[in-house]
Each structure stands twice: as structure tokens, then as C-alpha cells.
């Protein structure tokens, strides 16, 4: 068969040729892009991605850093660390079979006296977050348990034992609220800038000094680098590539004197109350405590909700509550120092002006009487402070209500440190309340009280009663201001930052004090009245300080808290007179008259401050 010479195939039209050319060009560009991308990745960026791939094969296992110590002014340890033994589960050695793994959990739960489901949840939660890192099941286990696990290692595959650092408070309840507690960082705290670089599971300060100086105390965790496979599981070939040693936190030296702190807590016992001892010249706090206290060691491992609720309950006396800086109380006659200063500076009285105290003051049909219906007769400022004449100060409160819109006493109370935090280096300090007409009238408008402001409120304020709310530290600052020449101090606990061996790294200087211009003759008159109260016949605390080797200037206070409630007992002391170095303030929430409970406790603290052997004290017989 012959084919004719004509080509019978259809010819390529221009349109089709154009389409083929376009498709070819697109394919060429695509292949070129792929080629150049591969060339870029393998040739130009090969080293970079090779390094990232190598880094991807390496994980870091955190090694906990011990926190820094807290020591007192003499270098005695207040807060330390101890080494505990923790039971952990290593993921690479656990059985792969789910049933076999659960059997390990059940056996481990029996040894640790835990529920099997609790062990499983604890381990699985941690392994989910860090699949290559050992999971902690229980910390601070006994040596007997450790020996048992070692002797029966075949029954506990993947179970290991490691040393951990646990916080230790050797003096137990002494300074519980002051030194504070630690606990695992919460999710809410994790977002705070102060915890930048802290990982979930790390322990941080949660209260007290532990919280205030956490950034110094915390230290820096170490790490062990391990190799993992593509699934994130630790390689069996290498148990550790390199180790970065943890760095212990800095040591904090406080101005606290351990002996004074201990004596203060013993003086108050378990009765709800508080105390503070402070240097009136520089604001250094030598002791600050609240009772009842608690043992922070119970929070060294885990803060259990039931423990927190119990220690914060009214039935237990709210041991977690720091009454020294958070308690809001009427101060009773200890506030007369403020009223005296305000009246002198406002021109209501002179130091030598005599007023007759007939035992009561009638205002608008209401009788304001002296404590125990005492009648003191003719008194000037000094004697009014010495015998604690309420009527003398009632009159000042009545007169001050018509001056400066009734804010003369309030203004000087604020100047002396009431109604705002003192600025001490402790968290959670309360501001307190200095009542004003606006304060009570606003409460009345909101139906939170039964009446608006009256002159009687200013009369009550003049003797530290009514709506006034203050804490022992604020009262100490006010007394220190009169004693030191008019400097309103900012109390300080932190003394300096040290390394682990105690070498100083940074001094923690106290902020500069505010200055008040109070004439020396006014301050002298007030100090003489306080001295008379603790030494002259008829002085409210003279029976307590008879025979005491250190000359004391002091004031009792008894704050009435309403029908059916025990009176609050106060005492504020300055020593040695006439050039005081220390102020000591104590209060009992249900202590009765100041001379009966607060003054004897203050004497014990002063005895320790000055190294005086404690002697017999007598119950006060004066009314306040």
C-alpha cells in the first residue's frame, strides 16, 4: 500500500501555538523558582538551617536554684533552705504500654500514700507540658520510702529520686507574717513583669519579705541539655550533653533583731494583737509582729487550700493577717499626741494654759465622760497627758470642729502619718482611715451609717475613738516624729543585699523623711507629758515602769469598740528619755485598759532592746 505524498495531519493554528508557548513559559518559570529556592535553602542558608535543626534536637531540663537566705541584723539566719528528696518519673524509662504504666502508678501511689488517679494526673500533666523532663510526683519524702524504691527498682521502672531545695523557717511561728511564704507561681502572676523569666512550677515569694525581695532571693535556675528525637522523646544514647549550674539567690540582711522579735511574740502570746519596735532616728524596724502567728514551714512544699482557709479564718484568729501593718483600729488615748500637736499648732492652747476637768463635757444633750468617771481638776497639757484627761481633749475636739472646716486634727493626723501607708518594704500595707465630715456624710448618703457628721465625731476623734482606723506602725511613726524633731520616717526592714557568703553587694538606704516644722517648745511639752505619764505619781503607766532602769516616756490607750466587745489595749513608748532612740508600740484587740496588758508587754520588749533584766511589773491603777 502506498501513501500519497501529502501530509494529512492538521496544522498547528496560531492560537494553539500561543497557548502552548504561554503554558511552557509558566512551567519554565515555576521550575526556575523551585530550582532557585532549593539552591537558596541548600547552598546559601544551609548552615543556618542545619544549626536550627541541631538546636531542635536539644532540650533543656530545668535544675532548680536555691533561694537566698534571710538573716537578721547580726547575721543570724531567719530563713534558710534545706535539701529534700523528691520522687520523680522519667518519661524515657516508663513502660510504653498504657496498662503497664498504670500499674506502675498504682504501685507508686500505694508507697507514697496517694490515690492512683492523683499520681497519674500529676505525671501526665507535667509530661504533657514538658515531654522530655522528669515529672515530680511528691517532694520531701522520707528515707524509708527512698530505700524501698531503690530495693524494688524493677517494680518501679522510670521512678527516680532527686534532691530539691525546700524553704526552711528555723524559728517557726516567730515572724511568720513578717518573713512570709513561698509557693508555685500562678498563671496570673506569670503575666506580671516582676516575674519575667520565671517558669511555671517555679517557687516565688507569696507574702512578707519573701514577696517584697523576691527578685533578689529567687536565684537563677540551671539546666541540663539532653538530646531528643523527632517526637520530642529523650534519646537513650545520651544522658546529658551539658549542664548549666544553678545560681543561688542573693542573701537579704534585715534590720530585725531576732531576740527582740522573739520576745515581742512571747509578750503577746496567742492573743490577737501586734507590736512594732523602730529606731526613731533612721526608721530601721527591729521587730514587727502579729499574733496569733503561724509556722510558714507548712507552706514550704504546697499551699493547700484547706490550710489557707483555716489560717485565714476568724475562728483561728486569722494568723495570716498581719495586724501590725494591716489592722485598722481606733487607737484610744495614744492618739492624744496627735490632738495635742494639732491644738498647739492651731493656736487652740498653749503648753501652760490650764483647763478645769470636772469629769464630763456636755454637748447638745450628750455627756462625754472621763474613763471610770475620774475627775482631774485643773490640768495643763503636760498633766492632761500624764493622767490622760479625756475632758481636756474633748474640749479641743469640740473647738477644732469649727476651725478649717473641722479638719485641724485631721490635717495633722495625716501629716504625722495616719490615713496613708507608711511606705514600709512589706506588701499589703493598709492606709487606714482619718474620718472627716465628708467621709461620714458620704456613708450616710449611701445608707451605710445611721447619721451624718456631728461635732461629737470630732470629739471622739480627739481621743482616738469613732471612725478612726490605724495600725501600730502608723502610731509608731507619729510618736517617732515628735521624738526626732519633726522627721516623718519611712520605716525600713531591708538593710542590704549580700552574696551567699554574706559579703555586701548593695546597701538598701532608707528614703528621705518628710519634715514638719513643729516648734521645739511644743515637742518638749508633749514629751514631758509623756514622761510624766510613765514616771510621776498618778501617771497612767507609772506603776508599770517603777524601778525600770531605762527612763521611759509613754502613753496608754483604751479604745472602746461597742457594746458586747472587749476594749482594745494600746501602749506607745519612747526610750530613753529625753533623747529617745526607740519607739515601741503594742496593741491587744481584746486587752482591756492599756495599763493592764499593752504596757507590761511593751516593758518586756524595751527590756530586751536595752539589755535590762526583766523585773516585776504591777498592774496599772490609772483609768487609761
pTM: 0.85
In DSSP terms, 515 is beta-bridged to 487
60-254: CATH number: 3.90.1310.10
- Convert the pLDDT of each residue in 412-467 to its tens digit: 999 999 999 999 999 999 999 999 999 999 999 999 999 999 999 999 999 999 99
State the Cα–Cα distance between residues 96 and 236, nearest whole angstrom: 14
Domain 258-610 has CATH 3.40.710.10: yes
pLDDT at residue 88, as a whole number: 87
Which of 594 and 136 is assigned the larger pLDDT? Answer: 136
pLDDT at residue 196, as a whole number: 86
Contact 457, 467 (CB under 8 A): yes
Q: Which three cell numbers stand for residue 292?
A: 496569733
Which ranges in the chain are annotated with CATH 3.90.1310.10? 60-254
Mean pLDDT on 300-309: 76
Beta strands 251-254; 70-71: pairing state: parallel
- Convert the pLDDT of each residue in 487-513 to its tens digit: 999 999 999 999 988 999 999 987 888
> What integer best gives the mean pLDDT of the chain?
88
Mean pLDDT on 143-152: 88
Which of 372 and 26 is assigned the larger pLDDT? Answer: 372
CA 29 to chain centre: 68
User: How many angstroms separate the first and last alpha carbons of the chain?
Assistant: 142
Share of the chain above pLDDT 90, in %: 61
State the Cα–Cα distance between residues 605 and 324, nearest whole angstrom: 15
Which of 601 and 161 is assigned the larger pLDDT? Answer: 601
State the Cα–Cα distance between residues 447 and 445, nearest whole angstrom: 5
Strand order in the sheet with 242-244: 58-63, 222-227, 242-244
15: pLDDT strictly greater than 80: no
Q: Which three cell numbers stand for residue 181?
A: 511564704
Residue in the structure block whose three cell numbers are 498633766: 383
- Convert the pLDDT of each residue in 313-359 to its tens digit: 988 899 999 999 999 999 999 999 999 999 999 999 999 999 999 99
Which ranges in the chain are annotated with CATH 3.40.710.10? 258-610
- Convert the pLDDT of each residue in 357-389 to its tens digit: 999 999 988 999 999 899 999 999 999 999 999
Which of 39 and 495 is assigned the larger pLDDT? Answer: 495
In DSSP terms, 135 is beta-bridged to 89
pLDDT at residue 80, as a whole number: 96
pLDDT at residue 3, as a whole number: 47
- Convert the pLDDT of each residue in 58-96 to its tens digit: 555 567 789 999 999 999 999 999 988 889 898 888 888
5: pLDDT strictly greater than 60: no
pLDDT at residue 444, as a whole number: 95
- Convert the pLDDT of each residue in 250-304 to its tens digit: 999 999 999 999 999 999 999 999 999 999 999 999 999 999 999 999 888 776 7
Question: Can you spell out the DSSP letters for 269-313?
Answer: TTSSEEEEEEETTT-BEEEEEEES---GGGGSS---HHHHHHHTS
How confident is residue 616, by pLDDT bands cut at 50, 70 and 90?
low
Q: Give the least confident one: 78-87, 181-190, 194-203, 221-230.
A: 221-230
58 three-state secondary structure: strand
Which residues have CB under 8 Å from 312's CB, separation 6+?
318, 319, 320, 321
Q: Which three cell numbers stand for residue 546?
A: 517603777
Contact 357, 339 (CB under 8 A): no
233: pLDDT strictly greater than 70: no
pLDDT at residue 8, as a whole number: 58
2: pLDDT strictly greater than 50: no
How confident is residue 310, by pLDDT bands cut at 50, 70 and 90?
confident
Amino acid at each position: 500500500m502506498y501513501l500519497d505524498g501529502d501530509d494529512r495531519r492538521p496544522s498547528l493554528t496560531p492560537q494553539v501555538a500561543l497557548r502552548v508557548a504561554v503554558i511552557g513559559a509558566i512551567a519554565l518559570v515555576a521550575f526556575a523558582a523551585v530550582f532557585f529556592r532549593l539552591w537558596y535553602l541548600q547552598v546559601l542558608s544551609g548552615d543556618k538551617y542545619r544549626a536550627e535543626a541541631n538546636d531542635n534536637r536539644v532540650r533543656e531540663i530545668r535544675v532548680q536554684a536555691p533561694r537566698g537566705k534571710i538573716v537578721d541584723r547580726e547575721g543570724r539566719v531567719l530563713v534558710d533552705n534545706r535539701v529534700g528528696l523528691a520522687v520523680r518519673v522519667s518519661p524515657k524509662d516508663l513502660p510504653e504500654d498504657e496498662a503497664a504504666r498504670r500499674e506502675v502508678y498504682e504501685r507508686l501511689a500505694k508507697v507514697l500514700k496517694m490515690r492512683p488517679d492523683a499520681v497519674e494526673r500529676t505525671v501526665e500533666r507535667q509530661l504533657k507540658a514538658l515531654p522530655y523532663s522528669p515529672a515530680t510526683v511528691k517532694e520531701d519524702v522520707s528515707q524509708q520510702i527512698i530505700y524501698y524504691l531503690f530495693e524494688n527498682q524493677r517494680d518501679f521502672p522510670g521512678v527516680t529520686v532527686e534532691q530539691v531545695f525546700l524553704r526552711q523557717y528555723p524559728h517557726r511561728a516567730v515572724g511568720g507574717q513578717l518573713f512570709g511564704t513561698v509557693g508555685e507561681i500562678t498563671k496570673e502572676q506569670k503575666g506580671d513583669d516582676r516575674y519575667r523569666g520565671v517558669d511555671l512550677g517555679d517557687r516565688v515569694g507569696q507574702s512578707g519579705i519573701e514577696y517584697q525581695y523576691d527578685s533578689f532571693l529567687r536565684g537563677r535556675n540551671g539546666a541540663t541539655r539532653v538530646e531528643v528525637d523527632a517526637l520530642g522523646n529523650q534519646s537513650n544514647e545520651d544522658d546529658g550533653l551539658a549542664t548549666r549550674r544553678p545560681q543561688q539567690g542573693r542573701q537579704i540582711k534585715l534590720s530585725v533583731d531576732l531576740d527582740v522579735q522573739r520576745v515581742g511574740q512571747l509578750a503577746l502570746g496567742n492573743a490577737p494583737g501586734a507590736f512594732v519596735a523602730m529606731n526613731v532616728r533612721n526608721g530601721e524596724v527591729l521587730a514587727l509582729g502579729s499574733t496569733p502567728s503561724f509556722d510558714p514551714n507548712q507552706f514550704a512544699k504546697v499551699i493547700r487550700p484547706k490550710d489557707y482557709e483555716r489560717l485565714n479564718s476568724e475562728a483561728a484568729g486569722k494568723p495570716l493577717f498581719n495586724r501590725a501593718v494591716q489592722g485598722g483600729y481606733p487607737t484610744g488615748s495614744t492618739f492624744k499626741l496627735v490632738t495635742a500637736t494639732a491644738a498647739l499648732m492651731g493656736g487652740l492652747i498653749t503648753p501652760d494654759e490650764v483647763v478645769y476637768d470636772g469629769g464630763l463635757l456636755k454637748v447638745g444633750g450628750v455627756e462625754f465622760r472621763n474613763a471610770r468617771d475620774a475627775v482631774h481638776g485643773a490640768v495643763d497639757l503636760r498633766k492632761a497627758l500624764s493622767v490622760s484627761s479625756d475632758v481636756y481633749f474633748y474640749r479641743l475636739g469640740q473647738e477644732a470642729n469649727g476651725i478649717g472646716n473641722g479638719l485641724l486634727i485631721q490635717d495633722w493626723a495625716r501629716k504625722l502619718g495616719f490615713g496613708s501607708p507608711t511606705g514600709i518594704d512589706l506588701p499589703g500595707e493598709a492606709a487606714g482611715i482619718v474620718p472627716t465630715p465628708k467621709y461620714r456624710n458620704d456613708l450616710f448618703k449611701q445608707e451605710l451609717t445611721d447619721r451624718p457628721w456631728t461635732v461629737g465625731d470630732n470629739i471622739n476623734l480627739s481621743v482616738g475613738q469613732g471612725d478612726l482606723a490605724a495600725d501600730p506602725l502608723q502610731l509608731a511613726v507619729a510618736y517617732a516624729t515628735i521624738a526626732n524633731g519633726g522627721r516623718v520616717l519611712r520605716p525600713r526592714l531591708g538593710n542590704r543585699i549580700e552574696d551567699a557568703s554574706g559579703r555586701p553587694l548593695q546597701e538598701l538606704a532608707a528614703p528621705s523623711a518628710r519634715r514638719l516644722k513643729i516648734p521645739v517648745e511644743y515637742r518638749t511639752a508633749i514629751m514631758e507629758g509623756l514622761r510624766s505619764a510613765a514616771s510621776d505619781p498618778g501617771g497612767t503607766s507609772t506603776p508599770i515602769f517603777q524601778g525600770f532602769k531605762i527612763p521611759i516616756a509613754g502613753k496608754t490607750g483604751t479604745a472602746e469598740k461597742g457594746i458586747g466587745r472587749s476594749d482594745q489595749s494600746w501602749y506607745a513608748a519612747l526610750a530613753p528619755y529625753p533623747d529617745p532612740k526607740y519607739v515601741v508600740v503594742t496593741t491587744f484587740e481584746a486587752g482591756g485598759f492599756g495599763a493592764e496588758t499593752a504596757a507590761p508587754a511593751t516593758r518586756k520588749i524595751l527590756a530586751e532592746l536595752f539589755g535590762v533584766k526583766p523585773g516585776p511589773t504591777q498592774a496599772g491603777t490609772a483609768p487609761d
